[in-house]
Structure 1
């Protein structure tokens, strides 16, 4: 039986509380536990988070703090043990895997540290690949706008190996934007880049919120990267320990240094 997003209309109420249709992403009392030996370990413990539209949020924390699990649950890649997750007004935490895949394809973009471009495809085909896999038509006017915005208009027929690391990451950002998602999740997007190239990529992510009203949620361990965001969530022991409003890099470095590895 075929499924469509028409079946997945925004849900105003869930078992864990009301869904906010004005939030790009919303987590309510999310807990995620994993089996470990004869017991269980809580990677997330009663985490609640609301990310408004057109905002840039950074998520920081030491290794094991829960930031990666937060991203996976918030993006609909993993299902919380309890609590609810909504993307663009649709609760995804109680959907089937097939339904969550449909929501991710239409409403979520991903940018990874390693770019994840297909080496045998041109940049243009890499950018449009998620749309073609979903069987969605390519909006050529939007695609042209996106490609121009990320500065790759003259590189569409090149192969990934012909581009620098920074250009490949720009292609990955264009790919994430192609479907016009509610939110882009960026996982350590500058981890493989030199300082100047990383600055260029972060400036682009920052610009997406103002010029395209795009919501960006970025997981990073780098205080200098997080300083580009509007707000920064600091994770510790599976919980949101602090929320910092427009902090600078020095403040973030000091905060992160206060946690033991």
Structure 2
């Protein structure tokens, strides 16, 4: 991840997946205005595993929502592979998210009535696209889900359900995967397994992942950790370790 000053964001630099250029997001409730992102600029290159951390209210969740096209900035530009998504209407942003962005959430978001295989391929089928069976087989093998494809979510452990969610997010070969507290509902062992898997997906398959987390041990699996406070990027720690991250968060007033 590289912080940038003001720059032309089109076309995208080679290898850049996400670009934010002087992005500000202001939430308004009546006469009250809260600046959730304050003039934030960054780039995320292909094959990066970036963790985003910060105290409560620092802007990390808003950063994910804006970068993923789930929300629009008040000012500034957001690009995905050179496409300025901040200028797209909601219909076109929806198509872009479906085709080029994957999501992994803390709550798995699996449909209980469907099997593992059906959950994985559902977004593709809804988009009218035939699943790439060879690619999905690679993902299933990597995640150790081969023996549970015909089971339903309730028959799986939390760690297995999150692995299903990861395969679903990768099934369309997205440019980038956004993971929002992906291990927040897991025990320590399952959390470690999922984080190891995410790092392997980046290092071995070249996937780009941006992960929001409050957990220094989780962020320590990333290539870089971006630290936020008061809607701004205040630090970027390369090859982070848990103790350094915990100390930096403490210096900012907690998690």
TM over 0.5: yes
1:213 equivalent to 2:203? Answer: no
- Tell me what 1:237 maps to: 230
Distance in 1 (CA, whole Å) between partners of 2:207 and 2:188 is 24
Q: After TM superposition, which residue ranges in structure 1, 4 or more long, deviate above 4 angstroms?
A: none
Deviations 1:135-194 (A, max 9, x none): 111111111111111111111110000110000000000000000000000000000111
Q: Is the CA contact (8 Å cut-off) linking 1:47 and 1:239 kept in structure 2? A: yes
Aligned residue pairs total 247
- Tell me what 2:153 maps to: 160
Q: Is the CA contact (8 Å cut-off) linking 1:23 and 1:50 kept in structure 2? A: yes
Please give the TM-score of this superposition, normalised by the length of structure 1: 0.92
Out of 53, 65, 73, the position equivalent to 2:66 is 73
> Higher mean Cα deviation, 178-187 or 37-46?
37-46
Q: Is the CA contact (8 Å cut-off) linking 1:30 and 1:80 kept in structure 2? A: yes
Q: Secondary structure at 2:147's aligned position in 1? A: coil
Out of 101, 105, 122, the position equivalent to 1:108 is 101
- How does 1:180-195 map onto structure 2 within 5 Å? 180-195=173-188
What are the ranges of 5 or more consecutive residues in structure 2 without an aligned counterpart? 1-5
Q: Secondary structure at 1:17's aligned position in 2? A: coil
- RMSD of aligned Cα (Å): 1.2
Distance in 1 (CA, whole Å) between partners of 2:55 and 2:171 is 32
What are the ranges of 5 or more consecutive residues in structure 1 without an aligned counterpart? 1-14
Please give the TM-score of this superposition, normalised by the length of structure 2: 0.94
Out of 69, 80, 84, the position equivalent to 1:87 is 80
- Tell me what 1:33 maps to: 26
- Tell me what 1:18 maps to: 9
